[in-house]
């Protein structure tokens, strides 16, 4: 594939796979070297001319000579600029009044047919939907989704505007042009396209365009808002009608990612433009490394998202692909809807047939030219050991461990259990170099992900299923078999399962906010692709207009599309109300009616999937919502150590009576009106948490009762345990008392569910030690 598709790599390539961050701006010791720095100055003043003058004045106060140092100005949603500065100049600017933070321009990297049908079938409660709820390409809404990614392939059938009405009059964006992108490439569906060239000129000329040369941006846009396209497939796999979560919504793309990564200064510029353009929802399938995360005030996504949410825009972001490690979730600010990745009920299997005709289940994408008959000699890696190799490395098929004379013309079985050093693709290259004709890799490291090995007969077999394969190899002196080309297996169970790569909580930003928020399909997702990718085309085939890839990048647009659908049906709802509706309507059971599990088979917890797996109809009518307002976010800034002066600069305006509490501590974060609850019990015997819910149902007069699912050893009481709503009482509050009977030895999970017989409103909680 073209571009940076490292999100497809397995766990031990997490540093590449998961949206890395790097300053990439030279030596920190060279204080005179000019680098691009971002100067963040909080909320924007209403007078843009003043802002520009303010930026110039700050620069002139530190620059030693008259020079044009500004690279980008931020003036719509927030104030600030990116400029070429020395380290000394950057430090000087950081001391100026009104400057929140100054930091080097970071480089971030990039972290369907069946998925939407599966989500629909998994919906927990059937509710009569409002008229015209079912989306189709023959209707259009005025909801605008903005996507920050690698650009767009506008010719894809997914972005046809047939049946769409005029572009919403409130749209203020533009369709930027280049040598390969005309204004006519935008239409009534794809209404805007922008790109942000690298200020250091590191972009290839082919990247100075909104056109997608990677495929990632086209894939996520298609997943979110693709119009219905029949007979979509990846060379016959996953065949069906491709349709996004909100095919009636409009699309605006902001190309911020290029061959050298995603510049933080470009991401902020895109946020700034999107706010001014008039988008309703923003979707970002990118982020930073868990181990290299910046402070909140230096996090470009958190900064941009804060100001977008201030203006009513819901921001949906990928949780990251650094799982299954704990504390690996990113994009975890409370104003972001953070998405984990799960499977759907479709598997892509490439099985091994043994000489006994026994079939061993394998998972991969390959278009094997081998016969279906088990007629090819097979050899175990350790039996093909080279003279100077040891049995351990040969068993695992490490470099220089195999004897070509023993491998040539054979299918090689390699043991990949507890072998994070070499991925399957690397072992394919080792086997091919030794003359092997196929690879059966026994490994659990890739979980449910089917990686694409094109024409080479390679498949991954779980350690459980690998037992039968090894028993057969050891039972005969002449083992034979074959590797079958991939087939689509529908109605696969269990599903959903949390993907092995999906980043996990708890959040390192705050243990008093549960992250991720929600899970959505992100494993083996088929969606539109760029039309000129010749990098992984099976012999004799043309480039596919669709591709199957995995990552929280793929899960994020599923949620973004759902957000657009909820916004279409409930245009007056706030961003936090929509977020709440999606979270409180999530499910926690799979298609076997059992609790959702992880790829390793363990029962999933809220650290894996947040509130659970999204459903598609219940968020349209959730009954009650938790509205997290601006004051909640201002309090959050106070509780995380920011003083009132900084909070005012960041937010621009605060209520007259607002002040940071004198006893601001991180423990108070638990009282932010969030749809989930997280409590840290360090040094405390019990904790009381408050929440407020708003009745958004058509029924004004209704009573909700609380049901508590408490972990063993913890007393949990909801007061009051009944909420009676009337026409004059749309908002009601309650408290939850958490009292462990003994000191917590591990993190515990439970839930509080409000129901009136028609609506079920569930909030998970986590109690941390």
C-alpha distance from residue 479 to each of 382, 402, 498 (Å): 14, 18, 36
Query: Which helix (DSSP H) or strand (DSSP E) does residue 344 occupy?
Result: none
Active site residue 565: no
Q: For residue 184, how many other CB atoms are within 10 A of its CB?
A: 9
Residue found under tokens 């039996």: 383
The CA-CA-CA angle for residues 91, 96, 101, to 5°, reads 60
User: Per the omega criterion (within 30 degrees of 0), is the bond before 506 cis?
Assistant: yes
User: Per the omega criterion (within 30 degrees of 0), is the bond before 14 cis?
Assistant: no
CA distance 612 to 606: 7
Could you give the dihedral angle defined by the CA atoms of residues 539, 349, 325 and 552, in that order, rounded to the nearest 10 degrees? 60
Q: For residue 126, how many other CB atoms are within 10 A of its CB?
A: 8
Cross-strand bridge partners of residue 74 = 80
Give the N- to C-terminal CA distance of the chain in Å, as an integer: 45
Q: What are the DSSP calls for 577-602, one per residue?
A: HHHHHHHHT-B-B-TTSSB-EETTSS
CA distance 177 to 193: 8
Give 392's DSSP letter: H
The residue from 137, 249, 285, 553 that is catalytic is 553
Contact 696, 623 (CB under 8 A): yes
The residue from 55, 101, 141, 149 that is catalytic is 149
C-alpha distance from residue 401 to each of 50, 383, 390, 409, 676 (Å): 68, 11, 7, 17, 52
Two structure tokens written together for 40: 């963040």
CA distance 270 to 281: 13
Residues 376, 381, 386, 387: is their CA dihedral positive or negative? Answer: negative
Active site residue 617: no
Beta-carbon contacts of 71 under 8 Å, excluding residues fewer than 6 positions away, are 36, 81, 82, 83, 84, 199, 265
Two structure tokens written together for 498: 């949390």
CA distance 750 to 75: 44
123 CB-contact burial (10 Å; exposed 0-12 / middle 13-18 / buried 19+): middle
Q: What are the DSSP calls for 646-678, one per residue?
A: HHHHHHS---TT----TT--GGGGGGS--SSEE
CA distance 87 to 80: 18
Give 184's DSSP letter: G
The residue from 55, 216, 398, 558 that is catalytic is 216
| Among 81, 509, 91, CA closest to 290 | 509
C-alpha of 735 from chain center: 32
CA distance 522 to 194: 26
Contact 20, 10 (CB under 8 A): no
Active site residue 700: no
CA distance 604 to 646: 39
Residue found under tokens 């600069």: 649
Strands 35-40 and 80-85, by their bridges, are antiparallel
C-alpha of 252 from chain center: 19
Beta-carbon contacts of 184 under 8 Å, excluding residues fewer than 6 positions away, are none
- Which residues are tagged catalytic? 149, 216, 553
């Amino acid at each position: 594939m073209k571009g940076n598709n490292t999100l497809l790599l397995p766990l031990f390539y997490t540093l590449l796979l998961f949206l890395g961050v790097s300053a990439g701006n030279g030596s920190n010791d060279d204080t005179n070297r000019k680098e691009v720095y971002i100067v963040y100055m909080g909320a924007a003043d209403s007078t843009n001319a003043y802002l520009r003058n303010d930026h110039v004045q700050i620069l002139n106060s530190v620059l030693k000579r008259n020079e044009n140092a500004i690279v980008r100005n931020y003036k719509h949603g927030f104030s600030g600029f990116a400029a070429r500065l020395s380290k000394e100049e950057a430090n000087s600017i950081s001391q100026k009044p009104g400057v929140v933070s100054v930091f080097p321009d970071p480089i971030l990297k990039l972290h369907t047919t069946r998925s939407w049908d599966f989500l629909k079938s998994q919906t927990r409660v059937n509710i009569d939907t409002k008229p015209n709820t079912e989306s189709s390409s023959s209707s259009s809404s005025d909801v605008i989704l903005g996507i920050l990614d690698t650009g767009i392939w506008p010719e894809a059938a997914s972005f046809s505007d047939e049946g769409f009405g005029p572009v919403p009059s409130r749209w203020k964006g533009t369709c930027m042009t280049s040598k390969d992108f005309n204004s006519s490439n935008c239409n009534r569906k794809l209404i805007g396209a922008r790109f942000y060239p690298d200020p250091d000129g590191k972009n290839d000329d082919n990247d100075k365009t909104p056109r997608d040369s990677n495929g990632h941006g086209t894939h996520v846009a298609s997943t979110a808002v693709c119009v219905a396209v029949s007979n979509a497939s990846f060379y016959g796999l996953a065949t069906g009608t491709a349709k996004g979560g909100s095919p009636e919504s409009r699309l605006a793309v902001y190309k911020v990612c290029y061959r050298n990564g995603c510049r933080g200064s470009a991401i902020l510029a895109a946020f700034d433009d999107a706010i001014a353009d008039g988008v309703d929802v923003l979707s970002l399938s990118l982020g930073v490394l868990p181990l290299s995360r910046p402070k909140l005030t230096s996090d470009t996504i958190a900064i941009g998202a804060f100001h977008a949410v201030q203006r009513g825009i819901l921001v949906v972001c990928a949780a990251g692909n650094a799982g299954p490690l704990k504390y690996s979730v990113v994009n975890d600010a409370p104003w972001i809807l953070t998405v984990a990745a799960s499977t759907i009920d479709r598997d892509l299997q490439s099985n091994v047939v043994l000489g006994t005709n026994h079939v061993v289940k394998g998972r991969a994408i390959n278009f094997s030219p081998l016969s279906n008959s088990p007629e090819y000699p097979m050899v175990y890696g350790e039996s093909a050991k080279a003279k100077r190799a040891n049995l351990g490395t040969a068993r695992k098929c490490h470099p220089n461990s195999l004897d070509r004379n023993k491998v040539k013309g054979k299918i090689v079985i390699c043991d990949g259990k507890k072998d994070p050093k070499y991925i399957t693709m690397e072992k394919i290259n080792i086997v091919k170099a030794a003359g092997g004709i196929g690879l059966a890799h026994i490994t659990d490291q890739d979980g449910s992900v089917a990686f694409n090995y094109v024409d080479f007969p390679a498949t991954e077999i779980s350690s459980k299923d690998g037992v039968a394969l090894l028993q057969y190899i050891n039972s005969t002196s002449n083992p034979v078999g074959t590797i079958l080309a991939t087939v689509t297996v529908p109605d696969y169970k269990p599903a959903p399962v949390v993907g092995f790569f999906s980043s996990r909580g708890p959040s390192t930003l705050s243990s008093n906010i549960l992250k991720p928020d929600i899970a959505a399909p992100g494993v083996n997702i088929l969606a539109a692709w760029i039309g000129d990718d010749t990098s992984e085309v099976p012999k004799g085939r043309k480039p596919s207009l669709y591709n199957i890839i995995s990552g929280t990048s793929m899960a994020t647009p599923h949620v973004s599309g759902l957000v657009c659908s909820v916004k279409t049906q409930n245009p007056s709802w706030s961003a936090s109300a929509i977020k709440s509706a999606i979270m409180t309507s999530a499910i926690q059971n799979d298609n076997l009616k059992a609790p959702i599990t992880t790829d390793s088979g363990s029962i999933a917890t809220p650290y894996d999937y947040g509130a659970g797996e999204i459903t598609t109809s219940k968020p349209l009518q959730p009954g009650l919502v938790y509205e997290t307002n601006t004051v909640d976010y201002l309090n959050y800034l106070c509780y995380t150590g920011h003083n009132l002066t900084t909070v005012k600069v960041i937010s621009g305006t605060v209520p007259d009576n607002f002040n940071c509490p004198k006893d601001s501590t991180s423990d108070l974060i638990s009282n932010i009106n969030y749809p989930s609850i997280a409590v840290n019990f360090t040094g405390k015997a019990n904790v009381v948490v408050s929440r407020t819910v708003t009745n958004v149902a058509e029924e004004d007069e209704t009573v909700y009762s609380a049901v508590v699912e408490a972990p063993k050893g913890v007393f949990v009481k909801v007061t009051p345990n009944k909420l009676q709503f009337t026409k004059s009482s749309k908002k009601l509050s309650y408290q939850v008392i958490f009292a462990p009977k003994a000191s917590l030895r591990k993190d515990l999970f439970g839930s509080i569910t409000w129901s009136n017989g028609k609506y079920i409103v569930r909030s998970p909680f986590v109690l941390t030690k």
